[in-house]
Structure 1
C-alpha cells in the first residue's frame, strides 16, 4: 500500500496517513485507559520513553541530592538512564530489595521513601522473574511523600488489563514488539499536566510552532516530543496489534496463560537438578530457571536443535542476576499462543539436556 509522511503534506495521501497515525494514538489511549490521546507519545520503545523522561522531566525538575528509587529487578533500560542523569546533575539512586522468592520487599521500599524522594521508577512485571508488582501500593506510598512514579510496563501490557487512572502513576512506558506488534515503536504515557511541564527531548521538524534564529517556540504535547518523521507505519501496526489483543480479551488471555504457567511449573519441578527463579505470586507467564552443572547457553543450544526457542543469558538485568547468585538463567516466555503441548516439548528437550550432561 502507498503511504506518505504525516502532519506535513496537503495532498490526500499525506492526509490519509495523518488520520491513520492519529487514530493509532486514539487506539493506544483506549487500550491502556488513558484520559485521552493527548497523553500518548509515540517513541521507538520503552527504552526511548524512559530516557525521554530522564532527560526532559528529570533535568527540568530534579537537582543534585534529590533521590530516586529503583528496584533490584529492573531491566537495564530502567537503570542506565537514571545513572546517566545521576552523573549529569548529581541525583541519588536508592534500590529497593526483593525477597528470595522474587517479590518486591514493600516494607523495605516504603522505608526508603522520604522528603528527598522525587521519583520512583519501577517495573510492573519483571522480565526475568515474571513478578507482578503492586503498582497501586507503590504509588500510594510514593504520593504520600510527594514523589512521581514511572512504570516500566513492557512485560505487563500483553498480559494484564490496564487503567492508567486506577494505577495512579505519572508515567507508563512500553514497547510494541512485546504486544505482538512491530519493532521500533512504543508508547510513553504521561499525565497531560506532567507532559506540559516538560521541555522537548529532541529538536527538529514536526515539534515546532515557529523557528527563528533568536528563538523557537514549540508545539504542545504530545507532538512536542515527536521530532522528525515518526514511525507512522509502526504506530498503525501497533494499533492493529492492540485491536487484535482487545478482540481476544485480556482477561481470557491472562487466564489461559496462567493455566499454561501452572502446568509448566508442575512439569519442571519434576527435574531434581532444576531450580525455578521467581516463584512469588502474582506473576506473569515467565519462567526463569537454572540446571545444576549446565550453563543456560548450553540449555538454549540443545533446545534450539528441536525448534524450541528460549532466551539464555542475563536478560539485560545483571544486578538481578547478582541478587539471584547466578551469572545467567534460561527463560521460557509463554504467550497467548502457548499450549500444554509446547510445555511437553520443552520438558522432552530438557530431558535431553539431562541425558547429555548427566
Structure 2
C-alpha cells in the first residue's frame, strides 16, 4: 500500500494549520475525501444534475443510472443478497432510528427485552431507550470486561427468550474494540431475537459480509469512509424490510395515492421518501470504488500497524492512560487516552496550535465514560492516509503539552 500516493489523492491534507503542516487524526468523526469523490460530486452537479426515477429525459436517466448504480456498488461492498436490501438514508443514526420506529414498534411489547452494551454510541442507545418507554419493554446491557471487550458468556447470560432485539456496534468508536458480531448474532437468533449492527466504525476499515455475519440489519455512514456527508445505508434482510412500514411518507416512496388510502412502492424505494440523496449516493459509490481499488484487507492491516505503533510510542509517556484492549490486534485504528492533570479539551487545543487535529469530549458515549470513571477523553483515530510520522508528531505534541502544564501548575 503506497501511503504517499494515497495522501496525494486528498487535497485537504496539503495545508498548514496554525503555521504547521496538518496532521489529521480525527477520521473516526469524519474522514477526508479523495479527489475521485470530489470530482464525482462536481461532475453530477455540472453535467447531469436532475431528479431520479421520475423523468424520461436524458439528464434524468443519467442521474437515475448513477444513483441506482451506487446502490449496486453498496450491495457488492457489504455482500447483500439483493439491491432491494440496500436503503439509502442520511446516515447510521437515521438508519437505527428507522429500525426502532418501524420494526421495533411492530415487534416489541411490554415484557420484551432489548439488549445493547455500555460501549454504544448514543445513536445506538437513545432509539432503544425511546422504544422501551413507548412499549414497556426492558432495556438491558451486556457488561464489559475490564479491558473494554465483550465476553460471549456474558452475552449468553444477558440475551434470553424474552429478548426481541440485540443491537451492538461492530467496532467501538472509543475503545477500538472489535466485537464478535457473528457469534453474537448466532446467540441472538438462538433466542429468537433479531440482530442489529452499528457498522459506522467498521465499514470504512475492514471487509463486511452481511450474509456471513447473518445479521438482520446493518447500518453505516458514507462520511466516515471517504464519502460525502449526509448519506448512509440501512441494510436489512428482505423478509424484515417487506414486513416493515415506512416511517417517512411522500414523494419517491408512493405507488398509488387515493383520497383516503395510499400504497407504497416495493423495496428499496418504500423507505426513500421525497427526493433522495442523489449526489451523496453517487459520491458514496465513488468512495467505494476508491476503497476497493486499495483493498479493505490492506487498509485494515495498515491501520492495525498504526494502532500498534501509536500504542507503543504513547505508552512511553508517563501519566498517559490508554483505554480499551491492550493487544493492538484486538482493536481498530484508534487510540483513546487521557493525560494526567490535563483536561482533554485543553490537550486538544494545545495540539491544534501545532496543527494536530484530534477529538476530545465524551464522543457521544456518555454511559461508557461513566463506566471508565471519566468525564471525557482524547482520541486519535487513523485512516489509510495517516503515517508513522503523523503519530510521531502527536507523541511530540503530547510531551510538549505535558511539559507546558507541568510548568504552569
TM-score when normalising by structure 2: 0.86
Residue of structure 1 equivalent to 2:134: 88
The CA distance in 1 between the partners of 2:143 and 2:118, in whole Å, is 5
Q: How far apart are the structure 1 equivalents of 2:353 and 2:112?
A: 51
Alpha-carbon separation, structure 1, partners of 2:151 and 2:373 = 18
SS in structure 1 at match of 2:251 = coil
Match of 1:299 among 341, 347, 351: 347
> Structure 1 residues 245, 161: CA separation in 2 closer, same or farther (over 3 Å shift)?
same
Matched, 1:249 2:295: yes
- Structure 2 gap ranges (5+): 1-45
Aligned to 2:356: 308
Contact 1:294 1:357 in 2 (8 A): yes
Counterpart for residue 329 of structure 1: 377
Residue 90 of structure 2 aligns with which residue?
Answer: 44
Aligned partner of 2:36 in structure 1 is none
Matched-pair contact (CA < 8 Å) for 1:66–1:91: yes
> How far is the alpha carbon of 1:276 from its aligned partner?
0.2
1:255-294 alignment, distance < 5 Å: 255-281=301-327, 282-294=330-342
In the alignment, structure 1 residue 106 sits paired with structure 2 residue 163:
no
3-state DSSP of counterpart to 1:240: helix
Aligned residue number for residue 60 of structure 2: 14
How far has the Cα of 1:280 moved from its partner? 4.8
CA-to-aligned-CA distance 1:52-109 (integer Å, 9 cap, x gap):
0000111111112211100010000000011111222222100011112110132122
Q: Within 5 A, what are the aligned runs for 1:47-126?
A: 47-126=93-172
| 2:280 alignment partner, SS class | helix
Distance between the aligned counterparts of 2:136 and 2:107, measured in 1? Answer: 13
Does the residue aligned with 1:228 lie in a helix, a strand or coil? coil
**Where does residue 138 of structure 1 map in the other structure?**
184
Matched residue of 1:206: which SS?
helix
Structure 2 CA distance for aligned equivalents of residues 69 and 87 of structure 1: 14
Aligned-residue Cα RMSD (Å) equals 0.9
Q: Does 1:189 align with 2:238?
A: no
Task: Note if 1:149 corresponds to 2:210.
Answer: no
Paired residue secondary structure (2:130): helix
Q: Over residues 298-343 of structure 1, what are the superposed CA-to-partner deviations in whole Å (9 max), with x where a residue is unaligned?
A: 1100000011000000000000000001000000001001110001
Q: Provide the C-alpha distance between the structure 2 equivalents of 1:193 and 1:144, rounded to a whole number of angstroms.
A: 18
- In 2: Cα distance, 1:307 partner to 1:53 partner: 40
The CA deviation string for residues 172-196 of structure 1, in whole angstroms up to 9 with x for no partner, is 0000011010000000001111100
Task: Find 2:367's aligned residue among 297, 307, 319.
Answer: 319
CA distance in 2 between partners of 1:260 and 1:44 (Å): 30
Deviation at 1:127, TM superposition (A): 0.5
Matched length: 358
Query: 1:164-175 alignment to 2 at 5 Å?
Result: 164-175=210-221
Shift in Å, 1:283: 1.1
Choose from 72, 76, 80 the match for 1:34: 80
2:387 pairs with one of 327, 335, 339: 339
Equivalent positions of 1:191-206 (< 5 A) are: 191-206=237-252
Unaligned runs of 5+ in 1: none
Structure 1 contact 68–117 (Cα < 8 Å) conserved: yes
Runs of 4+ in 1 over 6 A off after TM superposition: none
Aligned to 2:21: none
SS at match of 2:80: coil
Deviations 1:250-270 (A, max 9, x none): 111111111111110000000
Greater RCO, CA 8 A, separation 6+: 2
Report Cα offsets for 1:133-182 as digits up to 9, x if no partner: 00011011111111100000000011111111110100000000110100
Q: Is the 8 A contact 1:131 1:280 kept in 2?
A: no
1:128·1:315 contact (CA, 8 Å) conserved in 2?
yes
